[in-house]
Amino acid sequence: MTRTPVNVTVTGAAGQIGYALLFRIASGHLLGADVPVSLRLLEIPQGLKAAEGTAMELDDAAFPLLRGIEITDDPNTAFDGANVALLVGARPRTKGMERGDLLEANGGIFKPQGKAINDHAADDIKVLVVGNPANTNALIAQSAAPDVPADRFTAMTRLDHNRAIAQLAKRTGAQVSDIKRLTIWGNHSATQYPDIFHAEVAGKNAAEVVNDEQWLADTFIPTVAKRGAAIIEARGASSAASAASAALDHVHTWVNGTADGDWTSMGIVSDGSYGVPAGLISSFPVTTENGSFEIVQGLEINEFSRPRIDASVQELAEERDAVRALGLI
């Protein structure tokens, strides 16, 4: 195999998502089974030793596609020549921390990382922000990278998308592979809106198959939107393997394209479509082809959906205003 390896940078590499993610990147699940990768692992100084342990295990797995591993605590080194960047490391909310404190602490991470991407990444850089609050962290990084096209900065709502597909499959007795055109709108938070009105179950309109608005409002939407909290409650730790899997899905779809007749959900910089103020990083239905994506246009937004989309977008606008007031964007 003579292809040049793709440089993939993963931040927070010693964390629990990092541990679930790196082995699958190295075995071809991020970009494809024939694409060699070179990994750059970014950690804070306290995380370097654990990242070295993970790198030892990556060596021991003898992945044919893995062409190199570099570990660093310097963002400028980590993003040098990066083609794909997975920004996973973030500051979790700790006891007594207000939302503003959390945004500020994450600004201290994502602003310098955005600048390092701006100054050092490859021209074709694609960025996925996983670390929470993902949409606003992506906005902070994107704002610090004026020389990189804004559409290269994305936030992860694919986990929500996958969760919604799984719940809809359970309810309808369909296979997950029978479900298409589902949409997550808005923020990766409890205000997100999983929309089945344009979705299909085995070729039939999903809302008509379900035919139960009360189930949608009282069961489906809260189950999907609060699934992260339910996992934390059950596992005693936030979702890791499913989050890693969704990160792989997000980038794989971005690079390799959506299937004909289907779309996915990605947090992307709004162009004003569907009344989402331009510049916010909000989740939309998108199709992807040849490494680019487009918002699916022309969907009719009904009376059930409109206020739910607006509420999540309003939360994003408030987060944007808060980080603006902190001088982070």
Among 15, 114, 186, 194, binds ligand NAD (CB under 6 A): 15
In angstroms, rounded to a whole number, what is the distance separating the alpha carbons of residues 273 and 258? 20
Which among ligand NAD, ligand LMR, none contacts residue 130 (Cβ within 5 to 8 A by kind)?
ligand NAD
Asked if residue 167 belongs to a known ligand binding site, the reply is no
In angstroms, rounded to a whole number, what is the distance separating the alpha carbons of residues 125 and 184? 24
250 is catalytic: no
Nearest to 157 by CA among 227, 211, 77: 227
Among 11, 38, 132, 245, binds ligand LMR (CB under 6 A): 132
DSSP assignment letter at 128: E
SS (H, E, C) 279-303: CCEEEEEEEEECCEEEECCCCCCCC
Nearest to 51 by CA among 41, 60, 40: 41
Asked if residue 163 belongs to a known ligand binding site, the reply is yes
Handedness of CA 236, 237, 240, 246 (dihedral sign): positive
Among the residue ranges 124-132, 204-212, 249-257, 286-294, the one whose residues contact ligand NAD (CB under 6 A): 124-132
Among 36, 89, 107, 114, binds ligand NAD (CB under 6 A): 89
238 contacts ligand LMR (rule: CB under 6 A):
yes
CA angle 264, 289, 246 (to 5 degrees): 35
Q: Which of 29, 161, 188, 252 is catalytic?
A: 188
7 contacts ligand LMR (rule: CB under 6 A):
no
Give the shortest CB-126-to-ligand LMR separation in angstroms: 21
Among 23, 35, 44, 257, binds ligand NAD (CB under 6 A): 44
Which amino acids are annotated catalytic? Answer: 188
Binding residues for NAD(+): 12-18, 106, 113, 130-132
